[in-house]
Amino acid sequence: MLNHINFINMKYNILLIGFGVIGTEALSKIVESYNGKKTLKIAIVDKNINNIPGGIAYSKSNSKFGFFNNPLRLSNPEFIKWIKIKKNIIKIKSFIIKNKDFNLVNWLNKNKDFKNFRISKFNEIYLPRLTYSLFLEEKIINTLQKVKKKNISINLISSELLDLKINKINNEYNCLIKKNYDDFKFSLTHNSFKLKKITKKSSFILTENIIVGNGLLPPKRIKQEISTNNKNYIWDFYSEGGTHNLLKKIKKELLFKNSIKILFIGNKAGLLETMPEIEILSKKIKKKLKIICFAPNLLSLERAELSLKYKDYKFKFFKKNKLKKINKAKTIYLLLNKEFEYAKHMQFHKYDVWTLILKKKILNKIYSSLSKTEKKIYNDEVFSKIRNITRYTYPSTIDSKNNLEKIKTLSYVTDKVVQLKMLNKYIIVTTSNGLKVKGDIVVNVSGPVSLTKVTNEVVFLNSLKKMSNEYGERGFLADNNFSIAKKIYAPGVISSNFNPNRFTIIKAITFNTHKSVKKIVKTLN
């Protein structure tokens, strides 16, 4: 049943914070596994329902130009199965052709295997992020169909969670939300779902269990004398509309200027996502674009390229009989570098080795045999080092970046940005070495702030920090079910141990979310 609940002084069984990948997967798994006789009451709080489904990373509104950084074989197994069904391929192709502003027709024409339904060759394909939104949309519809047959009620609240407090007498959480919100219920029509606005409101909700699915933390703060609302300062690239938003700002500036300068703070995924579209734009216009990227080092995502003979590679340092002998977290990183060097000597690509490590689940095997102390060292220190040297992406984005470098549209400053300020209509970037550069548009893609330094960027996290078992720069320490406090679960990237095996983020958080839901539903059935 999908009826509205007047939740003033009402208690929910489960609260989902965010309705992106975690929220959708959690709802689906809850509905699938709940068989209790009592009505299960679920509340979902999300501050931007325009991003449903998919959240900031995968919604249609935010994925007009973005691609996955990994080939299909590394994705969520359920998604892999879904994408290989012919009717779903037709759905994606139809969407791309009908929505030409998404600028994916070129991708479709280049990827002949996808266009011509050569499903056996899909494993190495790099899909548009948009495809995941269509997958999640179908998942929500299927979930709502199941709800009709179960004692489950769902409420979607378009608002922001501000604070959490626990009532220690009955172990309920009192969740304060913004008063200026909209309340919705779902309805199904044919092959789509709609949201109907309801006017009954309250400033808080009560819940027994919480699943946190707010995604990545916002970017690092920079000392600044300008507002984050400045029209030409993009502080949070993805949540503000990604490449689509940046292109709009570029085109607007070019209406009045013959040349503009775009300054990027950071040089990884956010920068690379924009490169193909900026390359296309630079060829279309006669006006001059100049892009300067500021980063303390030039370590970025690498081109994902497999050798034809990659399956022939024989490990030297990660041989099967040696894995159980590796008992120090820092040793893993050292041996990985040695394995990469050896592979280069044997004329294999670094990506060949990394692909085989993932396929054979080598990191999984090593991590599982580590002591509790060494696992903590791995999560806190080693994981990020391994991540930095094993980040690959869609080759086309690297090609565009290289092309823009060749024509001197893109250049780099190897230094850290320490201050932003306004001067007339321009934004001045100051680096740690005192360099000052004037830009028309500034884009912050410096990566997420550490949990220890989060203040008011995500308000309710301060409450979680007080309630949690333990947290550090890498995030909250979670148990095997991703519980970070009593009946609070965080299966995503804000848990320090969310992904020790270096799965793709989607694959990891899907797996983690299902574990959290299993634990919760077990107590409710």
How confident is the model at residue 178, as a pLDDT?
83
Helix (H), strand (E) at residue 140 = helix 130-147
Q: Answer whether the bond into residue 218 is a cis peptide, omega within 30°.
A: no
DSSP state, residue 409: S
Q: Which residues sit opposite 182 in a β-bridge?
A: 158
Contact at 8 Å (CB) between 413 and 435?
Answer: yes
Contact at 8 Å (CB) between 305 and 349?
Answer: yes
Chain segment 419-469, per-residue pLDDT in tens = 999 988 899 999 999 999 999 999 999 988 888 888 777 888 989 999 998
CA diameter of the chain: 69
How confident is the model at residue 201, as a pLDDT?
67
Q: Provide, rounded to the nearest whole percent, the portion of the chain with pLDDT above 70.
A: 97
Contact at 8 Å (CB) between 467 and 166?
Answer: yes
Query: How many Å apart are CA 160 and CA 17, to the nearest integer?
Result: 9
Chain segment 11-63, per-residue pLDDT in tens = 899 999 999 999 999 999 999 999 998 999 999 999 888 888 888 888 887 77
At 248, list the tokens: 């709009």
Chain segment 351-386, per-residue pLDDT in tens = 999 999 999 999 999 999 999 999 989 988 999 899
Nearest to 444 by CA among 250, 270, 305, 210: 270
Place of tokens 């022939």: 312
Query: How many Å apart are CA 446 and CA 89, to the nearest integer?
Result: 35
CA 101, chain centre distance (Å): 23
pLDDT band at 9 (very low <50, low <70, confident <90, very high): very low
Indicate the residue type of 404.
Answer: L
Chain segment 185-238, per-residue pLDDT in tens = 787 777 788 787 776 667 888 999 999 998 888 888 888 888 878 899 999 998
Chain segment 388-416, per-residue pLDDT in tens = 899 999 889 999 999 999 999 999 999 99
pLDDT band at 8 (very low <50, low <70, confident <90, very high): very low
Place of tokens 């201050």: 419
pLDDT band at 275 (very low <50, low <70, confident <90, very high): very high
At 260, list the tokens: 């503009």
Query: How many Å apart are CA 349 and CA 345, to the nearest integer?
Result: 10
Give every CB contact of residue 185 below 8 A, 6+ residues apart in sequence.
2, 3, 4, 154, 155, 156, 195, 196, 198
Contact at 8 Å (CB) between 442 and 263?
Answer: yes
Contact at 8 Å (CB) between 323 and 316?
Answer: no
CA atoms within 13 A on the CB side of 478: 29
Q: Give the alpha-carbon dihedral of 200, 202, 204, 208, to 10 degrees.
A: -30
DSSP state, residue 451: G
How much is the pTM?
0.91
Question: Cα-flanking dihedrals φ and ψ of residue 186, to 5°?
Answer: -90, 150
* pLDDT over threshold 60, residue 7: no
Query: How many Å apart are CA 104 and CA 245, to the nearest integer?
Result: 17
How confident is the model at residue 49, as a pLDDT?
84
Average pLDDT over residues 294-300: 90
How confident is the model at residue 317, as a pLDDT?
96
Place of tokens 């199941």: 146
Contact at 8 Å (CB) between 65 and 277?
Answer: yes
Query: How many Å apart are CA 340 and CA 81, to the nearest integer?
Result: 32
Query: How many Å apart are CA 250 and CA 284, to the nearest integer?
Result: 13
Place of tokens 């939740």: 7
